[in-house]
Homo-oligomer: A and B are copies of this chain.
C-alpha cells in the first residue's frame, strides 16, 4: 500500500487513525455483532454513537448550551435553502459576496426572500475579503450571511462582521475544526462534513435556540429546523455511518491530537511553510490579499498556464494529487485540511523548489 498526499478541496484526506478504526470495526463494532452500517438508527448502540458525537463536538468546539447541534443531509447546498426558509421573518438578509459559494447562497435566498448584497470582492476575482468594519448592516435584516473560508480562492475572514442584534450566519464548510472559534458570536454555523469532519453526506448545523421555530407552517418537514431539533436529528433515518466516522474524527482531534489549540498550531505551521515559500519564490505566487489568506486552502500560480499544467503533472507523479486549482480560476490549490500531515506540505514545497530550479 502506498498512500498519496491528497490536496483535494473535499472530500479529502482522513487521518489514518480514523481509517484504521473504521476498517477494524467494519464487520463488528465493539461486541454488537454488527457493522455500524447495519445498525438500526433507533438502536441503543447507534444512539450511543450519535450522542457521543454531539458531546465530543460540543467539547471540542466549546458550543454553549443554548445552541442545538443538528446532523442533517444535503450538504451546504441544501442549507442555502433551509436557512432562508427557517430564518427569514421580515424577508431579507444581508450578504457579503466573496465567491462562488456565496453566489449560490444568494441565488437560493432570492427564491425565498431578498438578499441585500453589502459588499462584493468580485472586482478582483474574489482575491480578498471586504473590510467588514466599513459596511452598513441593515438593523431590520433577518440575518447577516458570510462564507467564512472561500475554498476556491483561498481567502478567509480574519475578523467577523459586528452585526449587533442581527444574527450572523456562516458557512464554515472548509474551516470548521481548523482552529478554536467563539461559537457565541454566531447565530448559525453550518458545514458539510467532507473536509474536516468526515465523509460526504453529512451536514452539521449549530444553531442558537431562539432561531429555531420561525419556519412557515407549510415548510417541508425535512427542511424545518424545529422538526429536526425536536426529533434530535432522527425525524427520519440520519446518515448513520457518516455520523460514526465524524465521531471518530472528533475522537482523533480530542484524544490523539489534543484539541483545537494543537490543531491550529499544526495548521499554522503547515500554512506558513507554504506561504513563506510562495512569498520568496521567483516562479510561484499566491494571488490572495496577504491579510485574508486561508489556513486551509492555499492557491498559487506560475502566471503561465502551460507551466501550471506541467507542475500539476509532476506533483501527481510525486504522489501529490489534486493540486489543480478550481476550473473557474485555474492555477493550483493545495487544500491542507486537518488530516494533511506536515510531511505532505514539506514534500509539496520540495517538489515546487525542484520545479522552480528546472523552469526558471
Contacts and interface: CB of A to CB of B under 8 A. Distances in A.
Given A111-B220, A202-B201, A11 B38 contact: yes
A81 B33 contact: no
A236 interface: yes
Nearest to A193: B237
Interface stretch (A22-30, A116-124, A164-172): A22-30
Contacts of A77: 221-222, 235-236
A3 B33 contact: yes
Main DSSP-derived SS at the A contact region: loop
A26 B33 contact: no
Contacts of A293: none
A330 interface: no
A76 to B, nearest CB: 7
A240 B236 CA distance: 20
Interface residues of A, number: 69
Contacts of A239: 73, 199-201, 239, 242
Nearest to A4: B33
Contacts of A108: 220-221
Quick one: which of A80, A104, A194 has the most chain B CB within 10 A?
Answer: A194
A230 to B, nearest CB: 15
A157 B13 CA distance: 45
A33 B318 CA distance: 12
Nearest to A322: B40
Contact of A245 (B6, B37, B74, B75): B37
Given A78-B222, A237-B192, A35 B8 contact: no
In the A-B complex, the 9 residue pairs with the closest CB atoms? A201-B239, A4-B33, A23-B26, A81-B220, A8-B40, A77-B236, A73-B73, A111-B218, A201-B201
Given A11-B37, A199-B239, 6 more contacts: A6-B33, A37-B245, A78-B220, A81-B221, A200-B241, A201-B201
Interface of A: 1-4, 6, 8-14, 16, 19-20, 22-24, 26-28, 32-35, 37-41, 43, 73-78, 80-81, 104, 107-108, 111-112, 192, 194, 198-202, 218-223, 235-242, 245, 319, 321-322
